[in-house]
Amino acid sequence: MPTRRTLLTMAATLPAATLIARAALARTPAVYANEGIAVDASDVVAYFTQGEPVKGAPEHAHVWNGAEWHFATAANRDAFAADPEAYAPQYGGYCAWAVSQGYTASTIPEAWKVVGGKLYLNFNRRIQRRWERDIPGNIAAGDANWPGVLA
Q: What is the number of domains present in the chain?
A: 2
Within a domain: 20: no
The count of C-alpha atoms lying within 13 angstroms of the C-alpha of 47, restricted to the half-sphere facing its C-beta, is: 23
Within a domain: 3: no
In degrees, to the nearest 5, what angle opens at C-alpha 82 toward C-alphas 51 and 117? 35
pTM (global) more than 0.95: no
Regarding whether 125 and 147 lie in a shared domain, the answer is yes
Give, for all 151 residues of the chain, the pLDDT tens digit.
655 654 444 444 445 444 343 444 458 999 999 999 999 999 999 999 999 999 999 999 999 999 999 999 999 999 999 999 999 999 999 999 999 999 999 999 999 999 999 999 999 999 999 999 999 999 999 999 999 999 8
Within a domain: 17: no
- Provide the residue range defining the domain that includes 52: 29-85
Q: Are 43 and 72 in contact (CB under 8 A)?
A: yes
Distance CA 102, CA 116 (A): 22
